[in-house]
Amino acid sequence: MDPNVLHLVVAAVLTVAFVVITALVWSRAQVKTVFWWIGLSLLPMGLYLLGLAPAVVGAYETLRDWAYALQLTPVAWVGIALAGLSALLMLGSRLIPSESYRDRRAAQKEKKAKAAASGSARPQVGSGTPSRPAAQAPAPRPASQPRPAASKGGSGDAEMDEITELLRKRGIN
């Protein structure tokens, strides 16, 4: 069989398989996961159409020859451990929820507001920006005041309700 036809068949089968997986994942996954699967679905046929199928086969054969010739010396085991650790860290980092710039900025503002409310509103030497006087700081809510109820359109999550209430008071919706 002609290698070019074989490459086309393999690329087509992989593309169809990835499209099926993408279709199964579509309704249950996050948008970024669906986009990743769509990109993976397009990759095999893209490599074939670019003429890179022989290079992919060559890379596979090179890796196979390397694996057969590998001698598991202590240095090789250290290399395996380092490569495994790096792969674990890179893949594990995808599980950490991302924090947007807005989230960090909101956390900084909240931290400054708490510092101003607690009476440490004096400007620090060398800070370059004077802080608000304590009289202008938002008053902390007494512990006896009830939190917004979930029945008033709240989400049922006390922290989210509190954040929503703060944003509403400041005119940010």
Residue 38 has pLDDT above 70, yes or no: yes
At 143 the pLDDT is 55
Q: What is the DSSP letter of 120?
A: -
> Has residue 56 been placed in a domain?
no
Contacts of 56 (CB under 8 A, 6+ apart): 47
Span 59-74, average pLDDT: 94
Span 128-144, average pLDDT: 53
Distance, CA of 109 to CA of 103 (rounded, Å)? 10
What residue has token string 């590998």? 70
Write out the H or E segment, with its range, that includes residue 26.
none
Cβ-contact 116, 134 below 8 angstroms: yes
Q: What is the pLDDT of residues 40-53, one digit of tens each?
A: 999 999 999 999 98
> Has residue 8 been placed in a domain?
yes
Domain boundary residue among 51, 66, 86? 51
> Has residue 132 been placed in a domain?
no
> Has residue 21 been placed in a domain?
yes
Residue 126 has pLDDT above 60, yes or no: no
Span 18-31, average pLDDT: 89
Q: Give 150's pLDDT tier (boundaries 50, 70, 90).
A: very low
Question: What domain range includes position 8?
Answer: 3-51
Q: What is the distance between the terminal CA atoms of the chain, rounded to a whole angstrom? A: 64
> Has residue 99 been placed in a domain?
no
> Has residue 102 been placed in a domain?
no
Buried b (16+ CB within 10 A) or exposed e, 71-101: eeeeeeeeeeeeeeeeeeeeeeeeeeeeeee
Distance, CA of 99 to CA of 148 (rounded, Å)? 26
Averaged pLDDT score across all residues of the chain: 81
Domain count, the chain: 2
CA 123 to chain centroid, in Å, comes to 37
Q: What is the pLDDT of residues 88-116, one digit of tens each?
A: 998 888 887 777 777 888 888 888 888 88
Domain boundary residue among 12, 29, 51? 51
At 41 the pLDDT is 93
> Has residue 120 been placed in a domain?
no
Query: Long-range contacts for 52-60 (Cβ within 8 Å, ≥24 apart)?
Result: 53/4, 53/7, 53/10, 53/11, 54/3, 54/7, 57/3, 57/7
At 67 the pLDDT is 92
What residue has token string 């938002």? 138
> Has residue 10 been placed in a domain?
yes
